[in-house]
Amino acid sequence: MPVSGFSGLNVALRGLLAQQRGLDVTGHNIANAERAGYTRQEAVMSAAASLQLSAGAVAGGAGAQLGQGVEVEQYRRIRDQFLDLQARAQTMSAGQHQTTAKALGNAEALLAEPGDGGLGKLMSNFWDAWSTLAANPESASAKSSLIGHAQNLADGFRRLDAQLGQLQTVAGQEYTDLTSATGVVRQTADELARLDAAIVQQTSAGRTPNDLLDRRDELLDQLSQYGQVSVTDLGGGSVSVQFGDAAAPLTNGSAVTWPQTLTAPGGKLGALLTLQSATGPIGARRTDLDTVAAQLSTAVNALHGTPPFFSGSTAATLAVNATSATLDAGSTAAAGANDIALAVAALRGGTADGTYASLVRSLGDDAAAADRLAATAVTLKAVALERRTEVSGVSLDEEMTNMVRFQRAYQASARVMSTMDEALDTLINRTGRVGL
CA 66/CA 69 separation, integer angstroms = 9
Q: What is the pLDDT of residue 102?
A: 96
What integer best gives the mean pLDDT of the chain? 91
What is the mean predicted confidence (pLDDT) over 95-119? 92
Cis peptide bond N-terminal to 307, omega within 30: yes
The residues with which 319 forms a beta bridge, in sequence order, are 311
The predicted model gives 265-276 an average pLDDT of: 96
Instruction: Say how far residue 342 (Cα) sits from the centre of its chain.
Output: 56
Give the per-residue pLDDT at 220: 96
- pLDDT of 413 higher than 80: yes
| pLDDT of residue 65 exceeding 90 | no
Could you tell me what percent of the chain has a pLDDT over 90? 73
| Per-residue pLDDT at 26 exceeds 70 | yes
Rounded mean pLDDT, 132-136 = 91
Residue 421 binned pLDDT confidence (cut-offs 50, 70, 90): confident
Calpha distance 345→81 (Å, rounded) = 67
The pLDDT of residue 295:
95
Residue 282 to residues 107, 267, 342: CA-CA distances in angstroms?
Answer: 7, 18, 36
The letter for the amino acid at 19 is Q
Backbone phi, psi, residue 134, to 5°? -60, -35
Calpha distance 314→319 (Å, rounded)? 10
Give the residue-averaged pLDDT of 87-93.
96
Identify the CA nearest to 72 among candidates 19, 11, 26, 28: 19
Say if residue 53's pLDDT is above 80: no
Q: Pick 298 or 61 by higher pLDDT.
A: 298
CA 30 vs CA 26, 38, 80, 289, 384: distances in Å: 6, 11, 20, 59, 23
Could you tell me which residues are beta bridge partners of residue 216?
Answer: none
- Residue 306's contacts (CB-CB under 8 Å, 6 or more residues apart) are none
C-alpha radius of gyration, the chain, whole number: 39
d(CA 47, CA 20) in angstroms, rounded, equals 16
Interval 338-357 mean pLDDT: 92
* Contact criterion met (CB below 8 Å) for 286 and 359: no
Region 95-114: what's the mean pLDDT? 94
Residues 342, 345: Cα–Cα separation, whole Å = 5
pLDDT of residue 116: 80
pLDDT digits (tens, 9 = 90+) for 148-175: 999 999 999 999 999 999 999 999 999 9
Mean pLDDT, residues 231-254: 95
- Name the amino acid, one letter, at 89: A
* Helix (H) or strand (E) run with residue 12 in it: helix 7-31
Chain mean position to CA 191: 19
Closest CA to 270 of 89, 92, 85, 88: 92
Contacts of 60 (CB under 8 A, 6+ apart): none
Cα 412 to Cα 11, 71, 245, 418: the distances in Å are 12, 16, 58, 10
Q: What are phi and psi of 57, to 5 degrees?
A: -75, -25
State residue 339 phi and psi, 5-degree precision. Answer: -65, -35
Residue 259 has pLDDT above 80, yes or no: yes
Structure confidence at residue 2 (pLDDT): 63
User: Which is higher by pLDDT, 422 or 327?
Assistant: 327
What was the pLDDT predicted at 238? 95
Asked if residue 352 has pLDDT above 80, the reply is: yes
User: What CA–CA distance (Å, rounded) separates 289 from 316?
Assistant: 9
Indicate the range of 42-46, 98-102, 266-270 predicted with least confidence. 42-46
Confidence of residue 274 (pLDDT cuts 50, 70, 90): very high
pTM of the model: 0.85
Per-residue confidence band for 84, with pLDDT thresholds at 50, 70 and 90: very high
Percent of the chain residues past pLDDT 70, beyond the cut: 96
At residue 47, what is the residue type?
A
Q: What gap in Å lies between CA 209 and CA 102, rounded to an integer?
A: 40
Whether the pLDDT of residue 42 is over 70: the answer is: yes
CA-closest candidate to residue 282, choices 108, 120, 156: 108
- Residue 7 has a pLDDT of 74
The Cα-based distances of 115 to 119, 309, 357, 359, 425 in angstroms read 9, 27, 13, 16, 97
Residue 40 has pLDDT above 70, yes or no: yes
pLDDT digits (tens, 9 = 90+) for 280-338: 999 999 999 999 999 999 999 999 888 899 999 899 999 999 998 888 888 887 778 88
pLDDT at 4: 64
Q: What pLDDT is stored for residue 50 in this prediction?
A: 78
Q: pLDDT value at position 66?
A: 72
What was the pLDDT predicted at 47?
Answer: 86
- Region 342-370: mean pLDDT is 94
Cβ pair 20, 45 in contact under 8 A? no
pLDDT at 432 (0 to 100): 64
CA 170, 164, 351: angle at the middle one, nearest 5? 165
**422 — pLDDT class (breaks 50, 70, 90):** confident
